[in-house]
Structure 1
């Protein structure tokens, strides 16, 4: 399949590792010039991206730094992937144990970073008839399955995508959402990260916990999703091959979500 993305420019947030880095690599392989942003620019991001930007995307200043750098480097943006998410404030805590500060931190990174990036990119996206993909989560559909603030923020992100698709579709901009289930990233695989905390809370060794995820989460395929699989879906949705797909939420979870 020819995606015909060569000549395009893109911005990818949360690009230092995981889904974001895989997306930068997938787009670059299609000939796209990519600005990738992360709080910490990794050697892998430097190698894969046309432009690697260090920015705290939970702040308005950080988003402004990224978008200004991308617009200066490329003189216009065709594609935007709002992938940055989770963050240090996401913990396996219940509602009564989630403070106002945690709510604010989760929404700043998981929702408002996308709001700000879209606002900055849309004039160029309208001019170039571009495309946006927002990376949400199946937690937006299964709120009981994860931290309450994170689930609410991801549900809001999916709703934002619908609204943007409706408002800017007549002006040539497509907006879609991708909602992964468990993906093989540091969120789960880092013993000091979210997955490690969940394992500890369940009284399990981290390695044993990871091995049980497909069964415990009811993943039909029997395995977690790879970052490259999510990146492939994102890249397809950004391309003109998917030119009549907009306003949709595309789940990639190995069959975790059982509802219609």
Structure 2
């Protein structure tokens, strides 16, 4: 199936691993030129024919610098995939283990800088080019924005704000030819879930539990109807399809195996 993406250009944040890496790889296979932004450039990313930019997207100047480099490199951008998230796993543990009164402003600010403001700043910087080219913004949120009971609460609230931001972009810039869509994965088979030093492993350690046992318990609590974790490539396929020419706009797509059961 030809998705009619050949010759287009894309910026993918958080492109060094996980969903971002899988998205970059699939975009390349569709003939898209890709610039990635991440703090580190992994060996897996170095193997791809992308333009990797080492940048801290949680800093105010980071997203704008990434977009500037992308436009300089490619002449403009057709697609912006705001995928960056999680960062340091240890920063997320307090949001899942502390009560609201014990979660300091600094952690809330860090969660919003990484998961909300990075996208907002990248969108603002990219909009002139996206409007010119009739581009597409995909914001990668999370099913936890709809299911906050397990936390991390600061992360969940920041992702909910990101989902709302998609609606704002869709409303304001749809008439100017820019589409905006949210993709909200549940647990994905990345280091966040599978690495002992990742978020789930770190949370298990904080609770004094075995990583694998805790991960199994967590999946049971989440209640995925398919009873399995999502692969990064499955999320990437959804993202890349949404970037292809269509009239999908302002919508949210859950990819969580049926964990979110309410309308």
TM-score of the aligned structures, taking structure 2 as reference length = 0.95
Matched, 1:154 2:159: yes
Offset at residue 142 of structure 1 (A): 0.8
Structure 2: which 5+ residue stretches go unaligned? none
Residue aligning to 2:92? 90
Q: More deviation in 95-104 or 6-15?
A: 95-104
Cα separation, 2, equivalents of 1:97 and 1:230: 34
Residue 247 of structure 2 aligns to a residue whose secondary structure is coil
Residue aligning to 1:72? 72
Matched, 1:100 2:102: no
RMSD of equivalent CA atoms: 1.2
Residue aligning to 2:35? 35
Residue 60 of structure 1 aligns to a residue whose secondary structure is coil
Q: More deviation in 95-104 or 165-174?
A: 95-104
Matched, 1:3 2:3: yes
Residue aligning to 2:253? 250
Cα separation, 1, equivalents of 2:210 and 2:148: 25
Residue 10 of structure 1 aligns to a residue whose secondary structure is strand
Residue 233 of structure 2 aligns to a residue whose secondary structure is helix
Offset at residue 139 of structure 1 (A): 1.0
Matches within 5 A, 1:47-196: 47-88=47-88, 89-91=91-93, 92-94=96-98, 95-196=100-201
Residue aligning to 1:44? 44
* Contact 1:190/1:196 (<8 A) preserved: yes
Cα separation, 2, equivalents of 1:140 and 1:168: 24
Cα separation, 1, equivalents of 2:6 and 2:127: 21
Structure 1: which 5+ residue stretches go unaligned? none
Residue aligning to 1:210? 215
Offset at residue 58 of structure 1 (A): 0.2
Cα separation, 2, equivalents of 1:16 and 1:49: 13
Cα separation, 1, equivalents of 2:34 and 2:86: 22
Offset at residue 143 of structure 1 (A): 1.5
Provide, for residues 193-230 of structure 1, a one-character-per-residue CA deviation record: whole Å limited to 9, x for no partner: 21012223444211222344432321111110000000
List structure 1 segments (4+ residues) > 4 angstroms apart after TM superposition: none
Offset at residue 103 of structure 1 (A): 0.7
Cα separation, 2, equivalents of 1:74 and 1:47: 20
Offset at residue 138 of structure 1 (A): 0.7
Cα separation, 1, equivalents of 2:67 and 2:142: 24
Cα separation, 1, equivalents of 2:155 and 2:81: 19
Offset at residue 153 of structure 1 (A): 0.4
Residue 90 of structure 1 aligns to a residue whose secondary structure is helix
Q: More deviation in 202-211 or 18-27?
A: 202-211
